[in-house]
Structure 1
Amino acid sequence: MVAGYSTEYTQNMEDRAVWRQLAWWFGGIVVGFKTWTVLLIFVFSVDWSTAWYLILNHVAWLIGIILVVWGPLFFWYRLVRVRLRRERLVRSEWEISETIRRRR
């Protein structure tokens, strides 16, 4: 192994973790601010035309959030399915059927 490679790799992973945390904080602040603003507008404006305008104006945000969340959820679902299939395969390799036991 090359000297210093592990420390460089660890530093890169720590940097990625920091950037990931910053991205989550930034996204959370943006979504929280938008949610709070829409809630205040709904509370202080009882007009349905304003409510419909806000709902239709935020459809793009809702679709974007759904698309951002859909990818990791789909990956996780596929990962769980593959792990279950692998577990069944490993278990089936070691199981002995009743007909083989009776012959011996």
Structure 2
Amino acid sequence: MPRTEVAHAFVRTAEVFSGVFGVDSGIGLPADGVCVIDFRDFGALSAAAVDRFSTSDQGILRSLSLGFIATSLVLIDRAGHPLPAMPGHAQELAWRTQRDQHARAMPV
């Protein structure tokens, strides 16, 4: 049950950010905790979230985006797709740390 809840929460979060950032989520509806992901669209959504996080001074939006972006980076990395461009080396290191922390908590 927890995997299913996490899958639904992540898909719904992706839908919200898809609407906020104006790009398709690329994520299909979960079935038994598993979703089909179109990584071209999902990568565009993730890139939009990273960009907005990096350029926004809205603390709440940044806070809401943090877990979504970190989880997205794990999924993209595990699927062998290129990660979104980061706005500088310091941001790349910070996101790598967040990604790795989330990866340890996510089943393979």
Q: Calculate the TM-score normalised by the size of structure 1.
A: 0.30
Q: As a proportion of its length, which structure holds more helix?
A: 1
TM-score, reference length from structure 2:
0.29
- Higher relative contact order at CA 8 Å, sep ≥6: structure 1 or structure 2? 2
**Higher radius of gyration, 1 or 2:** 1
